[in-house]
């Protein structure tokens, strides 16, 4: 019984080590710099913030540019390809793939920096 | 006496400082997503007046402008989205021909809003009828309910959307009255692009607006007025 | 009167049935995967025909699921003993068909991954939102009802449970009719006769499905059905068919009378190509005249005729729904009355529709799921009707 218990305990501990060795994902944070909130707060709350903001903006017309998705993309889109979703280490894709949380936003939303998109359209 | 003075001074300093910190962010990052802190309200009702007498058959400028503004493909296959279309009419008895643009009529009593199971189809306070793509499950009931066939369903995955106009596979969409432009004080792309001044955009509730004055003085109709939907888009000359 | 026979299907047959069902369901899931990744563009549906073949299958299944419970209701609410024995099987069929139909509806959505949004955001004016509650409640009510019918100590509760289910399914099928009745802008729909029409059609379609399933079970288990009960149920099915026909005829006749609706009626009944053909040959002849002949002709009316009549009714039901749902959308919406119209968006034109293999697979998948639930249910639980022995000559 004791042996079984200690075996189970070892099995529980092992994944913690695995997590450490796999490491956190490499992220291309784009322009980076001072974010709207601090990093740890953002990691925990960006989804709630975006969800609240989207209803305010769309349903009530209250557009808070600071916490809008477009604004996130403006800073965090890669400086190489102007996108938050184009590559494995793009800003949104990197963590979401690591955490295995499906990204639904970009079915509809453009992942491209708006200034880059405007340039591209005017060039056409 | 000096104690009270110091306290008052400190209080003023802190509160002014706090106010400055609160206001400052509003001045930064202004160019990216234009802010509108107070939101839509029901004192305003956006609408359009379409003068069909000036509308030329064969002219498609409003459609082209809408497609460009909103990132539509411009295709006219049965599965392509069309937010605005030109309709050519011919009176069966008299033979008189009329040309006009048709888009979401932004009804006051929208049937699409009534039937939507998730409240994805909704009417904003200022009268614009929109689809909340976050909630749309793609059941297409609103498309069945719309008397004007204003809505389109997105049949394939989309890429490279306009950052101001999110649209995606599996959801229903229609004319937004260019809400992203209106919220910045602009007007819909079709109204701006029409070379013949067919489309007049404005606030129906503002008695001094050009559209309200025209509606008061000239005859206009609502399409399918028999359904009592009170659309925000009115037509002259039919 | 027949007594108990082993009510487990013979093993090889059961395995074959299950394998067939699984194959069909697997095919449908493959089709759904393609529809989800490539979008609805691979189907025949478009911006004019927004509801296609999957909806025909789904609505048939859902309407029949409601109607099949008539058998149980006649047993529990109206106290006929022969029907009491058949009650549990009817309940199982109801759950099976409801499950199959709802599966097709949910997988045909543009965003089936958002079903949870539908379950948590309700628009009180939307029939679809009511249906989310009505259908899930229906499942619960039928499960409860089955429990009262199949467990001895719960039997005294079967009458109130039966009453609950009876009322619930009337509300549910009315809701199905209201989906269309509320579309006031469309010439094909927007009529108050549609809810009662769907209710009566549900009676006929449900009983037809029940007949087929019951006959198959009896045949595969070597049970001889009671002649008198069969005759009663068969005649009842005939009555339902006539009543359904009455509603459909009344609907078209009234529609035809309004001059603004007559162009649509000419389209459905005469000029619309496939739609009049399906309506007259599929629904009227195969779906009504043939079964009535098979049921009521004195020389016929044996068990093979019952299966034939039931199959014909079901085929007629599908034909009816195809004309109703798709024909109703194919006819151009009448926006500018008195004008001939044309545009790039199909105004003034009959909308073409050709169902794709994906839609057919999805629809059949719904049938497959219903089939499998029934087969497995019969295999593991006591659903096969055993005639309740009564005195000779007294039914």
- Report yes or no: A3 and A73 within 8 Å, Cβ to Cβ: no
Question: Chains with ≥3 Cβ pairs under 8 A against A?
Answer: B
pLDDT given for residue B19 in this prediction: 58
CB contact under 8 A, A59 and B122: yes
pLDDT given for residue B138 in this prediction: 96
Instruction: Write out the two tokens for C329.
Output: 């959308």
Tell me which DSSP letter residue C209 carries: H
Distance from CA of C336 to the nearest CA of B (A): 7
CB contact under 8 A, B132 and A68: no
pLDDT given for residue B198 in this prediction: 97
Instruction: Write out the two tokens for B127.
Output: 């009268």
Q: Cα dist. A99→A43, A94, C285 in Å?
A: 12, 9, 60
- Report yes or no: C229 and C387 within 8 Å, Cβ to Cβ: yes
Which residue in B26, B124, B166 is closest to A109 by CB distance? B166
Burial A105-119 (b: 16+ CB within 10 A, else e): bbbbbbbbbbebbee
Chain C within 8 Å of B55 (Cβ-Cβ)? no
Interface of B with C in 89-128 (CB under 8 A): 89-93, 98, 102, 111, 113-119
CB contact under 8 A, C38 and B157: yes
Interface of C with B in 100-139 (CB under 8 A): 109-112, 114-115, 117-118, 121-123, 125-129, 131-132
Return the SS3 of A20. Answer: helix
Over residues B127-137, mean pLDDT: 97
Q: Tokens 């204003």 — which residue?
A: B150
Neighbours of C283 (CB within 10 A): 24
Over residues B22-51, mean pLDDT: 70
If DSSP states are collapsed to H, E and C, what string results for A79-98?
CCCCECCCCCCCHHHHHHHH
Which range is most confident: A87-91, B57-61, C83-87?
Answer: B57-61
Which residue in A60, A65, A112 is closest to B35 by CB distance? A65
Residues pairing with B122 in the sheet: B130
Tell me which DSSP letter residue B202 carries: E
Longest alpha-carbon distance in chain A? 73
Provide DSSP, C87-150. HHHHHHHHHHHHHHHHHHHHHTSS-GGGHHHHHH---TT-HHHHHHHHHHHHHHHHHHHHHHHH
pLDDT given for residue A22 in this prediction: 60
**Helix %, strand %, coil % of chain A (to 5):** 60, 0, 35
CB contact under 8 A, B90 and C182: no
Instruction: Write out the two tokens for C358.
Output: 């994906």
How deeply is C140 buried, as exposed, middle or buried, from its count of CB atoms within 10 A (0-12, 13-18, 19+)?
exposed
Of B204, B182, B200, B178, nearest to B191 by C-alpha is B200
pLDDT given for residue C394 in this prediction: 41
Q: What is the pLDDT of residues A30-49, one digit of tens each?
A: 887 788 889 899 999 999 99
- Please give the Cα distance from B140 to B144 (Å, whole number): 7
Chain C within 8 Å of B169 (Cβ-Cβ)? yes
Return the SS3 of B219. Answer: coil
- ∠ CA A52-A53-A57, nearest 5°, is 125
Q: How many CB pairs under 8 A join A and B?
A: 87
ipTM above 0.95, yes or no: no
CB neighbour list of residue A88: distance below 8 Å, 6 or more residues apart: A94, A97
Measured between CA atoms, the residue of chain A closest to residue B123 is A59
Tell me which DSSP letter residue C41 carries: G
Q: What is the pLDDT of residues A6-26, one digit of tens each?
A: 888 877 666 555 554 467 788
CB contact under 8 A, B132 and A58: yes
Question: Chains with ≥3 Cβ pairs under 8 A against C?
Answer: B
Chain A residues whose CB is inside 8 A of the B34 CB are 63, 65
Neighbours of C164 (CB within 10 A): 16
Chain A within 8 Å of B134 (Cβ-Cβ)? yes
Sign of CA dihedral C247, C252, C253, C257: positive
Main-chain phi, psi angles of C35, to 5 degrees: -65, -35
Best to test chain C binding among B76, B93, B118 (most C CBs inside 10 Å) = B118
Please determine, for residue B227, whether its predicted confidence score (pLDDT) is greater than 80: yes
- Please give the Cα distance from C10 to C15 (Å, whole number): 9
- ∠ CA C359-C365-C369, nearest 5°, is 155
- Write down the pTM of the prediction: 0.89
Q: How many CB pairs under 8 A join B and C?
A: 173
pLDDT given for residue C301 in this prediction: 65
Q: Tokens 């989906």 — which residue?
A: C179
Measured between CA atoms, the residue of chain B closest to residue A51 is B134
Torsion-angle region of residue C346: left (phi > 0), alpha (psi -120 to 50) or beta?
left
pLDDT in tens, chain C (395 residues): 333 444 455 578 889 989 999 999 999 999 999 999 999 999 999 999 999 999 999 999 999 999 999 999 888 877 788 888 899 999 999 999 999 999 999 999 999 999 999 999 999 999 999 999 999 999 999 999 999 988 889 989 989 999 999 999 999 999 999 999 999 999 999 999 999 999 999 999 999 999 999 999 988 888 888 888 888 899 999 999 999 999 999 999 999 999 889 999 999 999 999 999 999 999 999 999 999 999 998 887 677 889 999 999 999 999 999 999 999 999 999 999 999 999 999 999 999 999 999 999 999 999 999 999 999 999 888 888 876 554 444 44
**Helix %, strand %, coil % of chain B (to 5):** 30, 20, 55
pLDDT given for residue C5 in this prediction: 41
Burial B8-24 (b: 16+ CB within 10 A, else e): eeeeeeeeeeeeeeeee
CB contact under 8 A, C335 and B143: no
- Please give the Cα distance from C53 to C43 (Å, whole number): 10
Q: Cα dist. A92→A19, A78, A102, B157, C214 in Å?
A: 20, 10, 11, 19, 56
Sign of CA dihedral C133, C139, C141, C142: positive
pLDDT given for residue B3 in this prediction: 57
Please determine, for residue B192, whether its predicted confidence score (pLDDT) is greater than 70: yes
Please determine, for residue A27, whether its predicted confidence score (pLDDT) is greater than 90: no
Which residue in C46, C125, C339 is closest to B92 by CB distance? C339
- Please give the Cα distance from B153 to C277 (Å, whole number): 30
pLDDT given for residue C390 in this prediction: 47
Instruction: Write out the two tokens for A56.
Output: 């305010």
Q: Cα dist. B33→B2, B23, B28, C28 in Å?
A: 48, 17, 11, 44
Q: Cα dist. C256→A7, C1, C194, C259, C269 in Å?
A: 80, 50, 15, 7, 10
- Please give the Cα distance from B32 to A116 (Å, whole number): 12
Chain A residues whose CB is inside 8 A of the B163 CB are 70, 73, 109-110, 112, 114, 117
- Please give the Cα distance from B177 to B233 (Å, whole number): 10
Residues pairing with B107 in the sheet: B231
Return the SS3 of B238. Answer: coil
- Please give the Cα distance from C180 to B166 (Å, whole number): 31
- ∠ CA A25-A31-A35, nearest 5°, is 80
């Amino acid at each position: 019984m004791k042996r079984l218990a200690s075996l189970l305990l070892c099995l529980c501990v092992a994944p913690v080590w695995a997590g450490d060795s796999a490491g956190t994902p490499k992220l291309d944070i784009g322009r980076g710099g001072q974010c709207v909130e601090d990093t740890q707060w953002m990691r925990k709350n960006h989804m709630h913030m975006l969800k609240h903001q989207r209803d305010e903006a769309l349903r009530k017309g209250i557009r808070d540019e600071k916490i809008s998705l477009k604004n996130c993309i403006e800073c965090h889109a890669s400086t190489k390809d102007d996108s938050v979703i184009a590559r494995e280490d793009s800003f949104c894709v990197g963590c979401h793939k690591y955490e295995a949380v499906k990204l639904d936003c970009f079915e509809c939303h453009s992942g491209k920096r708006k200034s880059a998109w405007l340039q591209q359209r005017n060039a056409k | 006496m000096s104690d009270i003075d110091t306290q008052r001074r400190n209080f003023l300093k802190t509160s002014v400082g706090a106010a400055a910190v609160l206001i400052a962010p509003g001045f930064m990052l202004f160019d990216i997503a234009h802010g509108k802190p107070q939101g839509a309200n029901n004192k305003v009702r956006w609408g359009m007046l379409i003068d069909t007498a000036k509308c030329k058959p064969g002219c498609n400028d409003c459609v082209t402008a809408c497609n460009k503004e909103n990132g539509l493909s411009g295709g006219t296959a049965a599965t392509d989205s069309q937010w605005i279309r030109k309709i050519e009419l011919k009176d069966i008895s008299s033979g008189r021909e009329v040309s006009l643009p048709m888009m979401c009529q932004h009804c006051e009593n929208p049937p699409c809003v009534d039937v939507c199971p998730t409240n994805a189809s909704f009417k904003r306070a200022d009268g614009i009828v929109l689809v909340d793509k976050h909630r749309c499950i793609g059941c297409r009931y609103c498309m069945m309910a719309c008397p004007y066939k204003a809505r389109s369903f997105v049949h394939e995955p989309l890429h490279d959307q306009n950052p101001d106009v999110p649209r995606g596979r599996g959801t229903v969409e229609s004319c937004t009255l260019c809400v992203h432009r209106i919220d910045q004080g602009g007007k819909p792309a079709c109204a701006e692009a029409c070379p013949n001044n067919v489309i007049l955009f404005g606030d129906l509730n503002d008695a001094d607006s050009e559209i309200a004055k025209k509606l008061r003085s000239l005859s206009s109709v609502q399409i399918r007025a028999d359904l009592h939907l009170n659309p925000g888009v009115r037509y002259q000359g039919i | 009167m027949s007594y108990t026979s082993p009510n487990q299907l013979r093993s090889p047959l059961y395995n074959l049935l299950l394998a067939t069902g699984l194959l069909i369901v697997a095919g449908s899931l493959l089709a759904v995967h393609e529809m989800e990744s490539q979008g609805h563009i691979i189907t025949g549906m478009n911006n004019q025909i927004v509801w296609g073949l999957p909806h025909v299958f789904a609505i048939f299944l859902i309407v029949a699921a409601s109607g099949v419970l008539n058998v149980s209701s006649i047993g529990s609410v109206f106290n006929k003993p022969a029907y009491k024995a058949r009650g549990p099987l009817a309940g199982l069929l109801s759950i099976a068909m409801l499950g199959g139909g709802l599966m097709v509806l949910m997988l045909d959505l543009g965003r089936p991954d958002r079903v949870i949004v539908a379950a948590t955001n309700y628009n009180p004016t939307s029939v679809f939102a009511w249906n989310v509650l009505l259908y899930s409640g229906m499942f619960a009510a039928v499960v409860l009802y089955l429990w009262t019918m199949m467990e001895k100590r719960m039997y005294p509760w079967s009458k109130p449970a039966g009453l609950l289910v009876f009322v619930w399914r009337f509300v549910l099928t009315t809701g199905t009719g209201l989906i269309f009745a509320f579309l006031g802008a469309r010439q094909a729909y927007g009529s108050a006769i549609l809810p009662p029409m769907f209710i009566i059609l549900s009676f006929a379609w449900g009983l037809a499905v029940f007949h087929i399933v019951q006959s198959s079970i009896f045949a595969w288990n070597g049970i001889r059905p009671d002649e008198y009960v069969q005759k009663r149920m068969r005649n009842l099915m005939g009555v339902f068919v006539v009543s359904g026909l009455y509603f459909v005829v009344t609907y078209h006749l009234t529609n035809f009378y309004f001059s603004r609706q007559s162009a649509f009626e000419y389209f459905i009944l005469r000029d619309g190509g496939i739609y009049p053909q399906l309506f007259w040959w599929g629904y009227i002849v195969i779906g009504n005249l043939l079964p009535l002949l098979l049921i009521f002709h004195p020389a016929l009316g044996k068990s093979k005729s019952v299966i034939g009549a039931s199959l014909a009714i079901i085929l007629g039901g599908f034909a009816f729904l195809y004309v109703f749902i798709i024909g109703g959308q194919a006819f151009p919406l009448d926006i500018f009355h008195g004008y001939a119209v044309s545009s790039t968006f199909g105004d003034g034109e009959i909308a073409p529709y050709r169902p794709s293999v994906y839609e057919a697979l999805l629809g059949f998948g719904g049938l497959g799921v219903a089939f499998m639930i029934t087969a497995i249910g019969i295999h593991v639980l006591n659903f096969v009707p055993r005639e309740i022995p009564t005195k000779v000559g007294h039914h």
